[in-house]
Structure 1
């Protein structure tokens, strides 16, 4: 299209971020550090209050440290409702229904609908939330046009720019990772590129909205399939009586093989969720993705069975479980398979005390002290701190069962 039809500004001085959680807040912080005026909008009053007080509602974590930067406090304010601005970023959760595994886009619809009363000609709308292919060009575009009476992209620019961040390294990754900039047209892509160029040092890769949507989900689906292969390898090795870690290390000596590490399952808000978005739009073409989900979802049950076997059926057993985050070296407990393992063990009458030195409120002063009198210590998440604490405890620990081998 002719970019002159939309008055795209050279500078976007006011950014409105709708949804300032694990994805939206880091972006809001980075634009604030770049000197732009930013309003962070959230339906959770504690998040809004925290932003206005320069702290995160979960204290002591990575996001709390980012918010405490004085430069951020000078340019970022929290609000319960959207305000007028130049660019609007939607970064709200996109879960799947627990039973049907269908995408739940209710939060995206609500967020887009909430900004429509303040949208004006020339504004840019960016969806950062992970969404099924064709959502930007379909549901989002149609909703904006219906609610505002304006046309996309003639009046309102629209793009999908999925996040690529790793909990535990958010501040580094949001700046240095490459970003996909998927505009609904060339002018939208350029406007979004200009916006993210204010803080991103990685490559800004222009593409279409649908290609960006699909690529983002394939990134996580690829990880899910790779983890499922590693987990299935571990099950095979158990069946034939060989050590899975050794087998994987041997296989990985091949220059074109890279089998991942097996574990107790897949957690977080991305990898176990996103493949279902592709299953929803292409059910006949996603047999492998569905099979990988089945394998990974069964791993907590397998882990719980191994613990019960190690306890030899002891009644009233007490277990100390180390690790609660969904992956190593982070404090994020969302959808963590460690939680499922603990729940399954407790359901059989085993007393489980769970600790994680990286998760606020779940630490311990001395591993040897909390493990005193336990029948078994199980490693659910292999943080380096846990390794160090086990080594420091030496022979003062009960038997240790490693369910997350490196």
Structure 2
């Protein structure tokens, strides 16, 4: 749960074919496990286009027959793997020991599996083997679990992928970023799959946890592994996609308590993945095909992004017509079925700014209009905050190029110390480009953990970017005596406007500045 939703929750508690044995609806439902089948022979049918219908039907029958003949070998292999999972004899390998791979490794090791983690960064590997988490920010429970699984020697880290030669399961959790043109960068994933393929044991199960564009597992990873190993998918090589669902600051809690989709190249593979993750997850595990799993992960974050964009655009509309988005949001949310999220200065973190682009990466440009528009709205918000700063300084007869600005909050999430893709980074850069001197303060980011009083000394505008708890308790009378020009921009609606105004501050808030009489001024008069 991110900052955009937390307020509402407090208010309202109320290229191969997919090898799926059959089309249909729910075929299994037990212990929170649901098998959701997809259209089989999808790519086979595509290859059959242009042929006669009789030829197509014959081809389809041959493929079904081939799948059936391979099924016995597959079931024997996976039955043995299931036994080893149940008895904790399976060896688990994890490639990538960052915010996804490290907690997964620790969880499997804590559950009783012999676990080997692989990472290219020698310093990270050394820290892990010393029982020290290399991850930035506070991760409740993770340091203790890591120390314990190192003490019991159930988990070790290495830079050598060849040490996975005996692994029964290999989980790949490497970064899949996007480039400046919003295109997926899958080099790390391809490199990880290519390297492990040289040492992968016969019958091993490879699970992709990295978030990928829909179609990647079937169309890119499966052919890559088959070529590199000389094996056949779902016969003596097994593949699945179980996308991560964790948030920094809650890695272990999310891993253990959030539902997962377990996509497999076959039903048996998917259900084997369910059995594996059942050892570490206390929530629903839904067995499906790889494509559906890819769609689910990217769609859920795109859905989030679109809803945040609505809240942000509503804030812009309220500013334009003189309304107050925070009052509007509160009243709208009293209507049944309405859930407007919190607007803000933009969207940060690793997943939400990226996953919508992954979702639409293999779709036609003309199809994905709403998602693109939402990304544009959210990406525009940091620059809009800069415009608000310019407005309020203009009203106080201060030029932006001659001003000192205190930026309160540098992380991307409240009460967190991670600045990953934080909107504050863009705001600070833009203000400096305009000639302003920017002082950054964030109690959770070590390099910016000065006091608020120190940051406010002699500034012309205080900009609240992140809803850290500390900022809700600020003494505005004291701060008024420290600043040079008493103006502020509240991008998160966390300041008591009446108290700040009584202390002598000119207050401007995202989504309500026009209602305070702060009309747009000439932003280019410097």
TM-score w.r.t. structure 2 length? 0.73
Once the 2 structures are TM-superposed, how far is the Cα of residue 374 of structure 1 from its aligned partner? 1.8
The answer on 1:334 being equivalent to 2:403 is no
The answer on 1:36 being equivalent to 2:113 is yes
Q: Matches of 2:354 and 2:242 in 1, distance apart? A: 18
Q: Matches of 2:468 and 2:343 in 1, distance apart? A: 15
Once the 2 structures are TM-superposed, how far is the Cα of residue 71 of structure 1 from its aligned partner? 1.7
Q: Which residue of 2 aligns with 1:160?
A: 241
Q: Matches of 2:257 and 2:318 in 1, distance apart? A: 39
Q: Matches of 1:183 and 1:87 in 2, distance apart? A: 13
Aligned with residue 191 of structure 1, among 272, 277, 284: 272
Q: Which residue of 2 aligns with 1:66?
A: 143
Q: Which residue of 1 aligns with 2:324?
A: 243
Q: Matches of 2:377 and 2:207 in 1, distance apart? A: 35
The answer on 1:383 being equivalent to 2:449 is no
Q: Select between 2-11 and 44-53 the one with higher mean Cα deviation.
A: 2-11
2:84 match: secondary structure: coil
Once the 2 structures are TM-superposed, how far is the Cα of residue 332 of structure 1 from its aligned partner? 2.2
Q: Which residue of 1 aligns with 2:339?
A: 258
Contact 1:60 1:360 survives alignment (8 Å): no
Larger Rg: 2
Q: Which residue of 2 aligns with 1:344?
A: 430
Once the 2 structures are TM-superposed, how far is the Cα of residue 330 of structure 1 from its aligned partner? 2.3
The answer on 1:297 being equivalent to 2:379 is yes
Once the 2 structures are TM-superposed, how far is the Cα of residue 42 of structure 1 from its aligned partner? 1.0
Q: Which residue of 1 aligns with 2:441?
A: 355
Q: Which residue of 1 aligns with 2:491?
A: 403
Q: Matches of 2:108 and 2:474 in 1, distance apart? A: 39
Contact 1:112 1:144 survives alignment (8 Å): yes
Once the 2 structures are TM-superposed, how far is the Cα of residue 119 of structure 1 from its aligned partner? 0.7
The answer on 1:372 being equivalent to 2:457 is yes
Query: Which structure 1 segments of 5+ residues have no match?
Result: none
For residues 199-226 of structure 1, give each alpha carbon's deviation from its aligned partner in whole angstroms, at most 9, with x where no partner exists: 1111111111110100100000001100
Aligned with residue 325 of structure 1, among 408, 411, 414: 411
Q: Matches of 1:60 and 1:256 in 2, distance apart? A: 36
2:386 match: secondary structure: helix
TM-score w.r.t. structure 1 length? 0.94
Aligned length: 404
Once the 2 structures are TM-superposed, how far is the Cα of residue 65 of structure 1 from its aligned partner? 4.6
CA spacing shift, 1:34–1:392, aligned 2, 3 Å = farther
Q: How does 1:178-257 map to 2 (within 5 A)?
A: 178-257=259-338
For residues 18-66 of structure 1, give each alpha carbon's deviation from its aligned partner in whole angstroms, at most 9, with x where no partner exists: 0111111111111122122211111122211111111133466328953
Q: Matches of 2:457 and 2:424 in 1, distance apart? A: 22
Once the 2 structures are TM-superposed, how far is the Cα of residue 231 of structure 1 from its aligned partner? 0.7
Q: Matches of 1:145 and 1:372 in 2, distance apart? A: 63
Once the 2 structures are TM-superposed, how far is the Cα of residue 106 of structure 1 from its aligned partner? 0.8
CA spacing shift, 1:166–1:265, aligned 2, 3 Å = same
Q: Which residue of 1 aligns with 2:353?
A: 272
Once the 2 structures are TM-superposed, how far is the Cα of residue 68 of structure 1 from its aligned partner? 6.3
Q: Matches of 2:332 and 2:137 in 1, distance apart? A: 41
CA spacing shift, 1:397–1:67, aligned 2, 3 Å = farther
The answer on 1:22 being equivalent to 2:99 is yes
Q: How does 1:134-145 map to 2 (within 5 A)?
A: 134-145=215-226
Q: Matches of 2:132 and 2:140 in 1, distance apart? A: 8
The answer on 1:109 being equivalent to 2:197 is no
Q: Which residue of 2 aligns with 1:11?
A: 84
1:361 match: secondary structure: helix
- When the two chains are superposed, the root-mean-square deviation of aligned CA atoms in Å is 2.0
Contact 1:329 1:358 survives alignment (8 Å): yes
Contact 2:213 2:358 survives alignment (8 Å): yes
Q: Matches of 1:179 and 1:290 in 2, distance apart? A: 26
1:195 match: secondary structure: helix
Q: Matches of 2:360 and 2:370 in 1, distance apart? A: 10
Q: Matches of 1:63 and 1:154 in 2, distance apart? A: 41
Q: Matches of 1:382 and 1:234 in 2, distance apart? A: 17
Once the 2 structures are TM-superposed, how far is the Cα of residue 384 of structure 1 from its aligned partner? 1.5
2:424 match: secondary structure: helix
Once the 2 structures are TM-superposed, how far is the Cα of residue 329 of structure 1 from its aligned partner? 2.8
The answer on 1:77 being equivalent to 2:159 is no
2:220 match: secondary structure: helix
CA spacing shift, 1:58–1:217, aligned 2, 3 Å = closer
For residues 353-381 of structure 1, give each alpha carbon's deviation from its aligned partner in whole angstroms, at most 9, with x where no partner exists: 112212233212x3223322222221111
Contact 1:15 1:39 survives alignment (8 Å): yes
